[in-house]
Amino acid sequence: MRLRVRPAVRRTRILVALVWLLVVPWHPGHADPSRYGMDGGQKYSPLTDITPENVHSLEPAWRYHSGDLGEGFRNREYSFQATPVYRDGVLYVSTSGGLAIALDATTGKERWRFDAQIPRDIWYSEHASRGVTLWHDPDGRVGVACADTVFLPTRVGVLVALDASTGEPCPAFGVDGRVDLRASALPPESDVQLEPGEYGVTSPPVVFESMVIVGSAVGDNRAVALERGVVRALDARTGREVWRFDPVPRRADDPAYASWSVEGARRTGAANAWAPLSVDAALGLVFVPTSSPSPDFYGGMRPGDNRYANSIVALEARTGRVAWHQQLVHHDVWDYDVPAQPVLTEIVRDGARVPAVLVGTKTGMLFTFRRDNGEPLHGMEERPVPASDVPGEVLSPTQPFSRLPAVADQRRLTPDDAFGIVLFDKWACRRILREYRSEGLFTPPSIKGSILNPGWAGGVNWGGVAVDAGRQVAVVNVIQGPGLVRLIPRDELDDLMDSGELEDWEVARQAGTPYAMARRLFLSPLGLPCTPPPWGKLVAVDLTAAKILWDVPLGTVRDLAPAVVPNFAWGVPGIGGPLVTASGLIFIGAAGEFVFRAYAVDDGRELWRAELPTSANATPTTYQVDGVQYVVVAVGGHGGLGLPRGDVVMAWRLPATR
């Protein structure tokens, strides 16, 4: 266990936690659709109008087309991944093209739209915008501009503040309603060049009191020295920076500094929080999921464990100081970011409800900690892992493992695991399984090639975990697809590129290291995963018993696989998360298939499905207007999965009764 709690903070946290338990009792009906992921990222709604008994009667309520299909943008991965947020009869949503849109929540009619006019002629390292954030100014007056504010993050690293009533920029925020985060992310006196499209904000920020707190998305694998992954708190009215936290410690008096080399801490960038953050207003803590330091797949230039990277970090919301942290991957060389919003919930331990934070990881593990001090609730342990055979690389001899059961396959893969629907397909997979290094979870990247299981997409990705605290059940969308990675000595890269050997690989230069990187999904010549299905699944975990309650394949291959492949329910990869309701339902798209589904929380039975114009790689939401419950999801496809792009927000409700 690697836990750091500053002594001066420990006693205060204990007292605040006792007050929290006394004055903020757990209530299963507390949820707020005006916040991304509901309260604390639980993706849980107390609404019960739609039930397992009547969900089959759901009918379309409305659909809205934004018109943003990514025309003119260079990225083929472009997709619409936002989760709308709801307040006072209005839905607010963003698009990857820099639009913020307000919709009537009962009809889908557009009330206003704002275009941030981000450039289309540059290459973006990230292609998503997962939503906007709402903030009510406690000092604002009714009818005064920006008393209610919409914060729109953009892929160019500019945060925009808009009047929630009109969509007009808030003139007091930054310059004409905008704060440019890019230049201040560069290290001082550095040779790092800001590359357009490589630094942005893809997840909605969070608000605490009169501050808006925002992370960033930094383009991976370009070099050792990159933009810094700072988390900033800005004054919500003016945009003035209140505090900042850098996940790479730069000062010798920081407790985490000892886990870095001096040169590594000086030069390394990233370790950024690209996934959504969570806030506990009662404890005054903001929970930050951090990613890998730069570059992802070779760490020889940054020896040590590299804390606070790949960690859950609890910051004091008013100051930005570290209250506690737990590192979940030491010295990451697998791109095993902490990819999902930390979930603030209550977990029953020894008959008592404990305020907890639950974290899903790309390794396929779920970790749980006390919110006030970071103490593991289900336990974690350090286990030996394979060593690297790459010159210059020194890995941690152990890695943290959760004592909760893994939700994804972490096995060592052998030639006997090769999958294919025809012999040549299976033989091609078997050849790679013979030649590449494969030792299960935490197999290091190598020059000859390694199989990462899970791959860098997860396990768990940004869709994260939904928690029904009343039932003590966590529900997670799991990607079940290994990846291949090769480290290429720099003097061999040009010849390999010219030969065409890397034609189907994603190649990154990793400047400042001896090695370039090439990676791709472990797919057969027919484009199917080389390992047996399911390739995507929905998993429920009993948090009291610490066991898998059930798991079911999520989706069929009909919209993803070649036409020669039968339409089997093998489960398919996708991104996005589940939504759980108090009535016992799970709503989810989040698969490479044109279907939106409802499942039963208790046993994983599919209860309802709706056909879509493309895939819904987003997390749904639900809300109630005039006694009617609506379920809404963004249907945007995914260019990176070869699925058609979409621009649709779709809503369902039960039939109107007379």
Q: What is the DSSP letter of 601?
A: T
Q: Is 335 a catalytic residue?
A: yes
Query: Quick check: helix, strand or coil at residue 85?
Result: strand
What is the H or E stretch that residue 265 is in? helix 262-267
Query: Quick check: helix, strand or coil at residue 69?
Result: coil
Q: What is the DSSP letter of 405?
A: P
Please check whether residue 165 is in contact with residue 129, taking contact to mean a CB–CB distance below 8 angstroms: no
Give the DSSP per-residue string, 425-470: HHHHHHHHHHHSB--STTPPPBSS-EEESSBTTBSS-TT-EEEETT
Report how far residue 470's alpha carbon sits from residue 490's, in angstroms, rounded to the nearest whole number: 54
- Sign of the CA dihedral 386, 246, 461, 42? positive
Report how far residue 643's alpha carbon sits from residue 131's, in angstroms, rounded to the nearest whole number: 21
Please check whether residue 636 is in contact with residue 644, taking contact to mean a CB–CB distance below 8 angstroms: no
Query: Quick check: helix, strand or coil at residue 11?
Result: helix
599, with CB counted inside 10 A (0-12, 13-18, 19+), is: buried
Give the DSSP per-residue string, 203-227: S--EEETTEEEE--EE-TTSBSS--
Backbone region of residue 155 per phi and psi (left: phi > 0; alpha: psi in -120 to 50; beta: other values): alpha
Short-list 340, 320, 316, 319, CA closest to 328? 340
**Radius of gyration of the chain from its Cα atoms, rounded to whole angstroms:** 23
Please check whether residue 44 is in contact with residue 601, taking contact to mean a CB–CB distance below 8 angstroms: no
Please check whether residue 9 is in contact with residue 249, taking contact to mean a CB–CB distance below 8 angstroms: no
Report how far residue 346's alpha carbon sits from residue 42's, in angstroms, rounded to the nearest whole number: 10
**Which residue among the candidates 148, 254, 305, 335 is catalytic per the annotation?**
335
Backbone region of residue 384 per phi and psi (left: phi > 0; alpha: psi in -120 to 50; beta: other values): beta
- Active-site residues, by number, are 335
